[in-house]
Amino acid sequence: MNHLDNLGEIISVRLPVDKVGFTGRMCPNLECQKYFKIVFGTGLEGEDLPCYCPYCGNAAVPDEFTTDEKIDYAVSVAEQKLIDAVYKDLKALEFDYPPKGPFGLGISMKVERMDPHLIQHYREKKLETDVTCKTCSLQYSIYGVFAFCPDCREHNSLQIFHKNMEVVNNLIDLTENLEEDLSTRLIENALEDCVSSFDGYGRELCRIYAHCASMSANVKRINFQNLDEAQVSVRNTFRFDLVRSFENDAWFEVRRLFQMRHVIAHKMGVVDREYINRSGDTSFVEGQKLQLRAKHVRRLSDLLARAANKIYSEFKLIDCSRSEEPNSVLQSGD
Ligand SMILES: [Zn+2]
Ligand SMILES: [Zn+2]
């Protein structure tokens, strides 16, 4: 049997995956080159589909996302297979003719194997967030929280925001049988989580659509904890009105709940003139302590979840041809 011929013209190497089934990938964009992982066999099916970097959104053919460690591993395994085949073929040619007669010469050939060739093993890195894309079902893992899906390029910000609102509601459920002090503190924390999740969500959308902004320098300064300021900034920068993402009077209700959070976070929960003037809430008098209830936070998470869907659509509809810097590549982690 000729082992070398049996190898054929192409040597296939199976790449090991980590315990969960993830395979590491690396963005080929030289300004990014960040690592992420995917589970092959999940996500989109088809020929010649591009792969997208979850961090910068760069598209390339899937092979370009192969990590250097994997290439080194595959080369070393292929070399090993080659050496094995040559060794076995030569081994089959061994012979040994013993000497004949009192002064005869014997002749033999013995094939010894040299030191084993070293396989360049690699280990996949541990990352921070595992995501299953809502759109194409690809399972992927990333540093940080927000990302583009490497298969369909759908951004996960809306998915992450809804997940956060689910956690807020679970937290509120836990408060039902607790004593009042502890329950109040957890409800306040849940309110804070609503506001900070919305802020993180809004900032991330601004970041990924920065190339569509009319004034890209403003993008990093947009703060979604203050809805009035966010409304003005989004209108000036992305040319749409945040208010229209809120149904009926939801904008005013959400504004008031955000101002409640401001009083709790910065004024020990004691109502001041600024709160009354800004929120128009006359159910409290100056100097009185705000009474935040679980129902307020549930209502806020519900209103924000609905608004978040519409805000996502508004960003998608932006006319990017009117931007300052068309086609600029996202700088991940900014
Ligand atoms: Zn990238
Ligand atoms: Zn996807």
Domain assignment present for 67: yes
Residue 235 lies in a domain: yes
Q: Which two tokens stand for residue 205?
A: 């959308």
Ligand nearest to the CA of 331: 1
Whether 212 and 275 map to the same domain: the answer is yes
Q: Do 138 and 201 fall into the same domain?
A: no
pLDDT of residue 109: 86
Based on C-alpha coordinates, what's the Rg of the chain? 31
Show pLDDT as tens, one digit a residue, over the chain (334 residues): 688 888 888 888 888 888 889 999 999 999 999 999 999 999 999 888 999 999 999 999 999 999 988 888 888 888 888 888 888 888 888 888 888 877 778 888 888 877 667 888 888 999 999 999 999 999 999 999 999 999 999 999 999 999 999 999 999 999 988 898 999 999 999 999 999 999 999 999 999 999 888 877 678 889 999 999 999 999 999 999 999 999 988 999 999 999 999 999 999 999 999 999 988 888 889 999 998 999 999 999 999 999 999 999 999 999 887 665 544 445 544 4
Q: What is the pLDDT of residue 326?
A: 45
Please report the pLDDT score of residue 238 as a whole number.
93
The answer to whether residue 330 sits within a structural domain is: no
| Angstrom distance (rounded) from CA 301 to CA 166 | 9
Give the three-state DSSP class for 315.
Answer: helix
Residue that finishes a domain, picked among 154, 174, 189: 154
- For residue 327, tell me if it sits in a domain: no
**Ligand having the closest approach to the CA of 142:** 1
Ligand 1: centre distance to CA 32 (Å): 4
208 Cα to the center of ligand 1, angstroms: 13
**102 and 11 co-located in one domain:** yes
249, 175: one domain: yes
Name the domain count of the chain.
2
Q: CB of 20 within 8 A of CB of 37?
A: no
Q: Give the number of the ligand closest to the Cα of residue 27.
A: 1
> For residue 334, is it within any domain?
no
CB 216 within 8 A of CB 324: yes
Where does a domain end: 93, 122, 154? 154
pLDDT of residue 334: 43
pLDDT attached to residue 332: 47
Distance (Å) from CA 67 to ligand 1 centroid: 13
**Measuring CA to CA, how many Å separate 171 from each of 136, 178, 296, 298?**
29, 12, 14, 10
Residue 290 lies in a domain: yes
Residue 242 sits in which domain range? 157-322
Q: How far is the centre of ligand 2, averaged over its atoms, from the C-alpha of 223 (Å)?
A: 28
What separation in angstroms does the CA of 174 have from each of 169, 252, 257, 295?
9, 28, 21, 13
**Is 246 found in the same domain as 197?**
yes
Residues 131, 144 share a domain: yes
Residues 196 and 295 both lie in one domain? yes
Whether residue 308 sits in one domain with residue 161: yes
**In angstroms, what is the span from residue 331 Cα to ligand 1's centroid?**
8
Q: 208 alpha carbon to ligand 2 midpoint, in Å?
A: 16
- Among 102, 131, 154, give the residue marking a domain's end: 154
Q: Is residue 107 domain-shared with residue 218, that is, in the same domain? A: no
